[in-house]
Structure 1
Amino acid sequence: MTRKLLPILALTVLAAAMGTAQAEKADRNKPMNIEADALHHDELQQVSTFTGNVVLTKGTIVLRGAKLEVRQDAEGYQFGKVWAAPGKRAFFRQKRDTQPGAPEEYVEGEGEIIEYDGKKDDVRLIQRGQLRGYTGATLSDDITGNIITYNNLTDVFTVDGNRRATPGSEEAAAGSGGRVRAVLAPKTQPPQAPVAPSAQPLKPSDTMKSRNP
């Protein structure tokens, strides 16, 4: 199948480190659109495989890679798995909810494999994982680890730098990955509104003056 836009049903260490903003909650209810060079669909297994310059969008969520597999379980939840081209990393990006008037914030990440769990609504960056936070165009946080899990609903992420994995699994293929590394920028607190001075009680002398001008 040549390059086309394909609508798909919506996919049904520390929160404070990435700030108080949360991931865009409206993304959960948005349809998924996938652009690729080719598509193979297995109706029996309910699995669709997209290959060649794959771009997935779902609300503000963007996933890019060389291959994408989308499947659906018996409950109707869908799951996406993206593989990067050899020697490269797949890409993830999502806008975060912010207060009105505040600069836009984004979280983005990379990994050789990226998994999206529609039931938990989280993203896993596997092998050479990296998660970055941006305020406007300014990089505010930069986290690296072998396996990074980021939950879109709670805005909590976990990082494993030296993970024990099941032999033969993709996590095992990722290797130890070394230590977790993080650069976390301090968060600017909004200015506090001035507190109005409380009224001072009248002194007895003031009361007498008001009665006897």
Structure 2
Amino acid sequence: MRNISILWLALLGGAWPGLAAALSSDRNQPMYVEADRADIDDKRGVSVYRGNVKITQGTLQLTAAELTVHSKGGDIVKAVAVGQPATYRQRPDGKEQDVEAEALRMEYYATEQKIILLDKAEVRQAGDTFRSDKIHYDIAKDVVNAGGGGTPGDRVRIT
């Protein structure tokens, strides 16, 4: 199994900026991307990382079976992580516990500053847990909306 570490992907820094205010020092840390395979098409602005994908940057940790990054002019437009489940962990500023999230699909939209967790989505922090088929986080407004995933019987569960 090939292991690819791509340090120059610092442009991906900030691609998963915390479901709460992430440790500000994380942005200044080097980012490491590991995958079994990487397909990078600069002309189309699409990079696809497959097989045991792991991203670390400071306290940020993201795992997925596949990560697709869409960019334009060197800036990330959209990033999609897919897994069984894809997982996310990061320490918020001023907090002692990490935010943890998982879903079968995680989508990040840079321009809109939004993260959408789809299918078996769950967010945990400080003993609180949100579960739904769809969890939407507006980073700029620091607002979480859960539910509305379209699955009959899907209900938001908060513990």
TM-score (norm 1): 0.62
Name the one with the larger strand percent. 2
Deviation for aligned residue 1:70: 1.1
Q: Taking every aligned residue pair, what percent have the same amino acid on both sides?
A: 30
Write the deviation string for residues 156-184 of structure 1: whole angstroms up to 9, x where unpaired.
Answer: 32112x345xxxxxxxxxx346111101x
- Alpha-carbon distance in structure 2 between the residues aligned to 1:28 and 1:44: 27
Change over 3 Å in CA distance of 1:122–1:61 after alignment to 2: farther
**Which runs of structure 2 are paired with 1:44-193 in the superposition (5 Å)?**
44-74=43-73, 76-84=75-83, 88-98=84-94, 104-134=96-126, 140-152=127-139, 154-160=141-147, 162-163=148-149, 175-176=151-152, 178-183=154-159
Calculate the aligned-residue CA RMSD, in Å: 2.7
Largest Rg, 1 or 2: 1
Deviation for aligned residue 1:29: 5.5
- Alpha-carbon distance in structure 2 between the residues aligned to 1:147 and 1:45: 29
Change over 3 Å in CA distance of 1:177–1:128 after alignment to 2: farther
Structure 1: gaps spanning 5 or more residues:
13-17, 135-139, 165-174, 184-213
Write the deviation string for residues 29-60 of structure 1: whole angstroms up to 9, x where unpaired.
Answer: 65543100011111221111111100112332
Contact persistence 1:122–1:150 (CA under 8 A): yes
Segments of 4+ in structure 1 off by > 6 A? none
Supply the AA of the counterpart residue of 1:96: P
The number of aligned residues is 153
TM-score (norm 2): 0.80
Contact persistence 1:150–1:156 (CA under 8 A): yes
Structure 2: gaps spanning 5 or more residues:
none
- Quote the residue 2:22 is aligned against: 23
Contact persistence 2:4–2:38 (CA under 8 A): no
Contact persistence 1:25–1:153 (CA under 8 A): no
